[in-house]
Amino acid sequence: MSRYLIAGLGNIGPEYAHTRHNIGFDVADAFAAKHGGRFKNERLADMAVVQLKGREIVVIKPTTYMNLSGRAVKYWMDNKKIDLGNILVIVDEIALPLNKLRLRPSGSSAGHNGLRSIEEALVTTDYPRLRFGVGNNYPKGMQVEYVLSRWTQEELPLVQYKTMKSVEVIESFIFTGIDRTMTEVNKIEFVV
- pLDDT at residue 26, rounded to an integer: 98
- pLDDT at residue 137, rounded to an integer: 85
Tally of CB atoms within 10 A around 17:
13
Average pLDDT over residues 159-182: 97
Residues whose CB falls within 8 Å of the CB of residue 7, separated by 6 or more in sequence, listed in order: 24, 28, 59, 60, 61, 62, 69, 72, 73, 76, 87, 88, 89, 90, 118
CATH topology for 2-185 is Rossmann fold (3.40.50)
Q: Please state, for a pLDDT cut of 70, what percent of the chain lies above it.
A: 100
Q: Please state, for a pLDDT cut of 90, what percent of the chain lies above it.
A: 93
Average pLDDT over residues 70-77: 98
What's the Cα-to-Cα distance from 187 to each of 63, 71, 103, 182, rounded to whole Å? Answer: 33, 32, 10, 8
- pLDDT at residue 28, rounded to an integer: 98
- pLDDT at residue 139, rounded to an integer: 87
Task: Give catalytic residue positions.
Answer: 21
* Per-residue pLDDT band at 187 (split at 50, 70, 90): very high
Burial of 76 per CB tally in 10 Å (0-12, 13-18, 19+): buried
User: pTM here?
Assistant: 0.96
Write down the domain spans for the chain: 2-185
- pLDDT at residue 61, rounded to an integer: 98
Residues whose CB falls within 8 Å of the CB of residue 67, separated by 6 or more in sequence, listed in order: 113, 114, 117
Please provide the average confidence, as pLDDT, over all residues in the chain. Answer: 96
For residue range 81-128, list pLDDT tens digits in order: 999 999 999 999 999 999 999 999 999 998 899 999 999 999 999 999
- pLDDT at residue 1, rounded to an integer: 75
